Amino acid sequence: MRTQVVIIGSGPSGLLLGQLLANSGIDNVILERVDRDYVLGRVRAGVLEQGMVDLLDEAGVGARMHAEGLPHEGISLAFDNRLHRIDLTALTGKRVMVYGQTEVTHDLMDKREASGLTTIYEAKNVQPHDFDTTSPYVTYEKDGVTHRIDCDFIAGCDGFHGVSRKSAPQDVIKTYERAYPFGWLGILAEVPPADHELIYANHPRGFALCSMRSEHRSRYYVQCPLNDKIEDWSDHRFWDELRRRLPKEAAEKVITGPSFEKSIAPLRSFVAEPMQFGRLSLVGDAAHIVPPTGAKGLNLAASDVRYLYSGLREYYLDKSSAGMEAYSAKALARVWKAVRFSWWMTTMLHRFPDTDAFGQRIQEAELDYLVHSQVAAASLAENYVGLPY
């Protein structure tokens, strides 16, 4: 088989890239290790920057998002038993869209199927080859048979644990990492959210976040020790802990109910440089991970896609390699700013086991400064709604 671009991974990065390319007449095949339902079963983030909303529109998959997504114009920071609203729209002129990654993925998969584009699910042992030449290819196994796809470019959209980054020459790739000494315990419940906007809470017992998927489905998180087990957290214990970490006015509005998803995720920052090795480009979680505190993971995947898509369009439509040559540098410039923002939000909002009394006072001063200075609030807002592409 031959195609122009082989995309490894059918998460949001791979699907969005594939759709944008196909709309521009650029052939692509997606190879995915697991099946469609497995991909859709992953519960992940839910806040989209305007830039990502625009890109989904450009890909022709924005209709359900506009109908069912919730545009938000602010968030609240909670500390010292009070809520402090950050008016994102007044400060930046922009809004964010609350719409789950699962729904984005669903819409992209439906569109791909309707467009008759090829996705090979349950492709095992996917391997990129010869990407340091102008004729790379990818091999994979399906039903015990080995297949080969020749192509011009390979897009590594296969997430943090994928094969693409591992295939990069080890003497060229450099990685940067920070692990945080806690995790997030998250639940989904079919109950109306405590507030119509998100609440990020800093509390002596630890961070908490009130988020949502719709007007009748809530997503809540509490900071927890890394070695906690899901079995340690009954629904009752979760709701109790969440309410204790929120200001009274918010805690009173929490509507409890049975959770239908509960998981613990570690928090880390990770960046691989460069994001391109000859004809193999890394996109999204394959190249970088951010802690979820800034809601940037999915949005960074979208900006990578935007840059790579532009580069590929230039290559095929304008016969210029300039965009492809600039991909890694362009993507990384935006990635590092989001990595900084996510690290900063995480540092400001969580309780760190080794923070001393001085460190604690600095954290309190930072929050106080933020909610009393327009300039400081504007900086948070500018990053939260998304820096320009």
292 carries an active-site annotation: yes
x/- track of binding to ligand APR for residues 256-285 (CB under 6 A): ----------------------------xx
276 binding partner (options ligand APR, ligand PHB, none; Cβ < 5 to 8 Å by kind): none
The residue annotated as part of the active site, out of 12, 220, 292, 316, is 292
What are the DSSP E strand ranges found in the chain?
5-8, 28-31, 47-48, 70-72, 75-79, 82-86, 96-98, 118-120, 124-129, 137-142, 145-150, 153-156, 174-189, 198-201, 208-214, 217-224, 259-273, 276-277, 280-282, 288-289
CB 61 within 8 A of CB 115: no
Q: How many CA atoms lie within 13 A of 268 on its CB side?
A: 14
Interface with ligand APR includes 107 (CB under 6 A)? no
Q: Mark whether 180 is an active-site residue.
A: no
Nearest to 197, CA basis, from 187, 208, 209, 211: 211
Q: How many CB atoms lie within 10 A of CB 1?
A: 13
Which of 22, 45, 61, 308 binds ligand PHB (CB under 6 A)? It is 45
Q: Is 38 a catalytic residue?
A: no
Strands 153-156 and 5-8, sheet pairing: parallel
Q: Which of residues 178-207 bind ligand PHB (CB under 6 A)?
A: 198
Are 380 and 86 in contact, with CB atoms under 8 Å apart? yes
204 an active-site residue?
Answer: no
Q: Is 200 a catalytic residue?
A: yes
Name beta bridge partners: 119: 30
The SS3 of residue 176 is strand
Contact call for residue 52 and ligand PHB (CB under 6 A): no
Q: Rule CB under 6 A: choose which of 14, 18, 46, 323 binds ligand PHB.
A: 46
Nearer to ligand PHB, 152 or 195 (CB): 195
User: Binding-site residue total for ligand PHB (CB under 6 A)?
Assistant: 9
Which of ligand APR, ligand PHB, none sits in contact with 301, Cβ below 5 to 8 A by type? ligand APR
* # chain residues binding ligand APR, by CB under 6 A: 28
Annotated active-site residue in 200, 221, 307, 309:
200
Q: How far apart, in whole angstroms, are the C-alpha atoms of residue 382 and residue 269?
A: 21
CA–CA dist 340, 335 (Å, integer): 9
Q: Quick check: 47 binds ligand PHB (CB under 6 A)?
A: yes
Q: Which residues bind ligand APR (CB under 6 A)?
A: 8-14, 31-34, 39, 44-45, 101, 123, 126, 157-159, 161-163, 284-285, 297-298, 301
Q: Which residues bind ligand PHB (CB under 6 A)?
A: 45-47, 198, 211, 219, 292-293, 295
